[in-house]
Amino acid sequence: MKYLLIMIHNHQPIGNFKDVILKAFYNSYIPFLEKILKYKNINIALHTSGILFEFMEENNIKDYEDLIKELLKENRIELISGTFYEAVLPLIPEEDKINQIKKMNNYLSDKFNFTPKGIWLTERIWEPDLPKYIKKADIDYTLIDDNAFRKLGFDNKSLNHYYITENEGYPLNIFPIQKKLRYLIPFRDVNEVLSYIRSFDDDSNIFTYGDDGEKFGLWPGTYDYVYKNGYLDKFLSNLNQCEDIKTIKFIDILNKFPPKDRVYFNVSSYEEMEEWSNGNFRNFLSKYNESNKMHKRMLFFRNNINVENKEAYNHLLKSQCNDAYWHGIFGGLYLPHLREAIYEEILNGENSLNKRDFFKIEDFDKDGFSEIIFIGENFNLFLHQKGARVIEIDRIKDKKNLSNVITRYKESYHNKLLEEIDKKIVDDNEIKTIHNSFIIKDRNVVSYLKFDKYFKENFLIHFLNNLDDLKNSIPISEKFDYKILSSNKVEFYTNEINVTYEIDKKIKYNLRVPKKSDYLAVEMNLYFPEDRLKIEKNSIIFNIDDKEMYIKTENSYEILDEKIFTISSSESGIEKIYQGTTLFFIFYLKNDINLINMEIGDLYEK
């Protein structure tokens, strides 16, 4: 007898658009379970992220939960735990690892009277120390990709079992997710899937399929293919009638068979993720400055709240949702609304802080330089010694990171975009996996393809011999010394340049600089709606959530603006995304010593 384990993972990120999540439910998650319910010999395992469960409660969606309850009555479904808010375990503190999982365990127990024994690893990210924390959360097994096994020399036949590993004496059973099955189901003929399983001898009899539920109806072209054209009915009908292939739950396999052997794995994930991350998920933190800042901002928040404050701690757990921290076909780093959602959770959680209007000195972003961090009633500022720049501006009342922009990085698919843009489009009518397709949604996007030579942050200082130099200018990056002047004022200085920041209801910026060139530009990079900017002689007005803010200067020579667009790849194809606006406040340096003043505030408090 061959045993097929079917594991479906359903998840949408914190901050995703409501209509997108609803489409996922009604085009994928719900119709899939309806089909499973129809075929009485089919057993599955199901992981649903806590974000989706909370969305269902907030939007009174009952269908999905009712289907789960029906399948539980028939003993044909196993509910799988995970980090409740879909955090990547290696990126969060030890206590949070355990608490995220236990929060999901408790939810499944309370909602469905089900005690989960398995865990879905977010993005299937594996590191060797995880068994300890997973076992401490009362979990007996997990699934990792066969990629981890193949690195150790396992062949196809060896993958048709499950194994055991441990860390510090904490054991954990491991099922290998087979890439072959991920690429067969649902993209290849049903008979091809069944023939593959039957091709192995009787000693090789446990086949693990684990993948995203979105490929059954939400991926491009799959709704018609899977449901309207009958793929899933045909697949389940054939499987339902098989006498030599039986679908089974993971907990039943654990009770029926012992593990094949003890194995120790290296850091791993699925092959595509390893390609995007250069082998280790943590590399996103070095590849993308914005990913690192967001991650370290989450840790800064965690270190400055009392975890006994349940409301603040739950905001922390939400801020650990993985999607906005990385970029690949499914990663959301290039989606501003997902990054914004993370910062909103952090700033909402920090409302519990009693102490305000003070400076804190620490190496916040872990780059070897101490940052000067101001925690205020109206604004938070994260200031960096290199260039006396600002790497984060938080507007407290609206829970917004005004500096939520992203640098335009060169990605590997940009070369492919340039190669493909002039090719004739051919539609072969074949349903492909997202990994094998390259969809260009707008062939004009190539005109917006631009890459930055430095990180798009704030109060960046450029010295210019003429205005044409701005196109290729790089801001100063020398290290400034600093001194705290008062509870809300700090000075940065070198032998030649002085910068002061004073923060209360407004942010006041004063720059004292010699005539090192004819012009100087102060660069700002802010996120606000694309069409909500008004430029005047010495000021700009922009709109945040229908509230107007301003930046004003004195005696500026000119103010220039440039919209920031990224050209990025997602499951729907290559797309152009607005990421914010660059503003250059340009001043003519006419004196031996020049004084430049800028101010940011709310227009109605001007």
CA 125/CA 197 separation, integer angstroms: 26
- DSSP string over 12-73: --TT--HHHHHHHIIIIIHHHHHHHHHSTT--EEEEE-HHHHHHHHHTT--HHHHHHHHHHH
CA dihedral 484, 489, 492, 495 (to 10 degrees): -90
Give the DSSP letter string of 262-307. Answer: B----SB--HHHHHHHTT-GGGHHHH-HHHHHHHHHHHHHHHTS-T
> What's the CA gap between 25 and 43, in Å, rounded?
20
Q: Does residue 329 contact residue 288 with C-beta atoms inside 8 Å?
A: no
363 is catalytic: no
Given the residues 54, 129, 212, 452, the one annotated as active site = 212
| Partners of 482 in the β-ladder | 492
Helix/strand/coil for 133 = helix
Q: Helix 30-38 to helix 231-241 angle, to the nearest 10 degrees?
A: 30
Phi and psi at 29, nearest 5°, equal -60, -50
Q: Which of 222, 174, 218 is nearest to 10 (CA)?
A: 218
Catalytic residue among 123, 211, 344, 523: 123
**123 has catalytic annotation:** yes
Phi, psi of 412 (to 5 degrees): -60, -35
Given a contact cutoff of 8 angstroms between Cβ atoms, the answer to whether 507 and 501 are in contact is yes
Q: What are phi and psi of 204, to 5 degrees?
A: -120, 90
| Catalytic annotation, residues | 123, 212
